[in-house]
Structures are given as C-alpha cells and as structure tokens.
C-alpha cells in the first residue's frame, strides 16, 4: 500500500519506531523490577502500548527495529535510583520530535492520529497515577535539604573567618549539622504525627533528617580534604549551588514544576545567608579580638 511518505518522513518514522521498541523494553524491565503490583501493572500496560505502536509503524516502514540498548540500561538505572516517575518523565521529555511526526501524519492517516493521541494523553494519564513513596515525601526532603543549605552554608561561612582553621570549621560544622538534622527530624515527626499515622510520620522524619545529613556531609567535606579555608568555602558554595541545581531539576521533572524560578530562589536565599554570616564572622573576630 502506498502512503506517499517522503524520505525525510520515513527516516523520522524509523527513528520513532526505534524509540517505541526501546521504550517497550524499558517499561517491561521496570515492571519486572517493581515490587508494587499496582505500579507493575501500569508499566506493563504502557509497555504493551509501546509494542503496539512499534508494530503499527512497521506497516509503514516495512522493517523491524532493534532497541537502543544503552538507552534501555540508562533509563532503567535512572528509574531504579531516582524513582520510576522521574525516569519515565525524563524519558518522555525527549520524545517531542516523534510526537510531532505523529501529529503531522495524523492529518492524512487516521492511524497516526490514534497513536498521537495515545502518546499525548494515555501514557501521561497512566504515569500520573503511579504511586511512588519518594514523591509522597518530596515535601519532607525539600524541608531537610533547604534548611541544611541555608543554615549550614551560613554557619560554615561565618566560621570560616571566625576560626580560619579547616579542621575546627569542619568539626564545628559537623556537630552543628548533625544536631540540627536530629532536631529537624524530631520536629517533622511531631508535626506530622498530629495529622498522620505514626508510620507515615516516621518515614517523613527519616526523609527530612536523611536529606539534611547528606547535605551536611557534602558541604563539610571540602574542609576535611583541604587546608586552605578560603578555597574550602568557595568549593562548599559551589557544592551548595550544584545540590540546589540537581534537586530542583529532579523536582521539576518528577512533579512538572518550573525549574528556573525555584533554582534561582533557593540559590539567592542560600548565598544571601552565607554572605551575611561571612560578614558576621569577620566582625565577631575583629571586635572580640579572637585569634586562633
């Protein structure tokens, strides 16, 4: 049957067909790894849709396509580490070109219109109802990470000029950070316990405290590895910005939130507190005549 498909469009269709069989493999692999039966069934359903799309495209391209093995392993790994919702949404963000081809061909061929609708709506609806613990406790992680970034970046900046000794700064930072993380976890448990059952409150507090401790470790590490306190502070600030960048990218993909606004807002707050604390540390050292 002649569909009058030009060479460029045929090339795009073959690329889309390869994407479909690749995504079929990814969803199939994830469905076998996920213990949650609800999530596993959703992923199997999406996998079946992708395989059907591949077979529909085969009628036009006249060939079987092999999956991109590197993409299969990459997105499977990302999904298992950062959560299936994040992995799937990150993967789907790269498929805009294929959807445009489907939409264009759908103007003349009804079958492509059907594929286009499923790509735009059906899969996204399925992805939205995936139940994932990591996303349920994102608010707790934001609380722990944000507090750690603001408080510890400011603390380390203030201590840098007050003490001028990387070991003492690291020691003070670790004690402050660990004590603050325990305090934050306890506060989160008590505040959540009044609204939720104890198991939910405990998990919420662990996510808050865990995010805080990991952030503390990343920010203090330069002071443990280097002897130059100014260089340590610079690397700590860079680490803080990178943590904000990575975390906000994760949130923007997983929960479809704006990236730039949240990134610049958190960066401005953390750096602003660091600058103020740095000045306070310098003034305290100057007026108290402390010399270590």
Which of 3, 19, 255 shows the shortest CA–CA distance to 105? 3
Q: What is the pLDDT of residue 260?
A: 85
CA distance 228 to 31: 50
Q: Cα angle at 78 between 77 and 81, to 5 degrees?
A: 85
pLDDT tens-digit map of 23-37: 899 999 988 888 888
- Tell me the H-state helices in the chain: 7-33, 37-61, 69-82, 84-93, 96-105, 110-117, 123-128, 133-136, 138-163, 166-193, 198-225, 229-254, 259-288
pLDDT band, residue 21 (cuts 50/70/90): very high
Provide the pLDDT for residue 184: 78
Both tokens of 225, joined, read: 């590895």
Judged by average pLDDT, the poorest of 48-57, 71-80, 212-221, 264-273 is 264-273
How confident is the prediction for the chain on average, in pLDDT?
79
Determine the average pLDDT of the residues in 192-219.
78
CB 223 within 8 A of CB 229: yes
pLDDT higher than threshold 90 for residue 69: yes
pLDDT at 22: 93
Tokens representing 60? 């036009």
State which of 80-89, 201-210, 220-229, 241-250 shows the largest mean pLDDT.
Answer: 220-229
Q: Tens digit of pLDDT for each residue in 236-278?
A: 889 888 888 888 888 788 777 788 888 888 788 877 877 787 7
């Amino acid at each position: 049957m002649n569909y009058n498909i030009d060479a460029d469009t045929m090339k795009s269709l073959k690329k889309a067909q390869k994407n479909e069989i690749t995504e079929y493999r990814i969803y199939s692999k994830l469905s076998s790894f996920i213990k949650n039966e609800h999530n596993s069934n959703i992923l199997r359903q999406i996998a079946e849709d992708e395989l059907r799309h591949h077979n529909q495209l085969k009628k036009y391209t006249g060939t079987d396509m092999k999956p991109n093995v590197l993409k299969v392993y990459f997105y499977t790994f990302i999904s298992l580490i950062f959560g299936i919702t994040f992995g799937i949404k990150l993967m789907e963000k790269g498929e805009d070109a294929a959807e445009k081809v489907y939409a264009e061909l759908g103007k003349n061929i009804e079958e492509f219109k059907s594929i286009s609708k499923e790509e735009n709506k059906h899969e996204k609806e399925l992805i939205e109802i995936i139940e994932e613990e990591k996303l349920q406790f994102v608010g707790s992680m934001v609380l722990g990470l944000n507090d750690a970034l603001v408080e510890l970046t400011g603390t380390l900046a203030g201590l840098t000029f007050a003490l001028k000794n990387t070991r003492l700064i690291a020691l003070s930072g670790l004690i402050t950070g660990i004590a603050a993380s325990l305090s934050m976890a306890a506060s989160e448990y008590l505040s959540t316990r009044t609204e939720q059952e104890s198991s939910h409150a405990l998990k919420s507090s662990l996510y808050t405290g865990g995010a805080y401790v990991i952030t503390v470790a990343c920010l203090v590490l330069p002071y443990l590895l280097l002897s130059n306190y100014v260089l340590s502070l610079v690397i700590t600030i860079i680490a803080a910005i990178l943590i904000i960048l990575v975390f906000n990218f994760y949130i923007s993909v997983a929960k479809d939130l704006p990236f730039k606004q949240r990134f610049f807002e958190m960066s401005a707050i953390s750096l602003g507190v660091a600058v103020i604390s740095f000045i306070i540390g310098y003034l305290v050292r100057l007026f108290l005549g402390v010399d270590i």
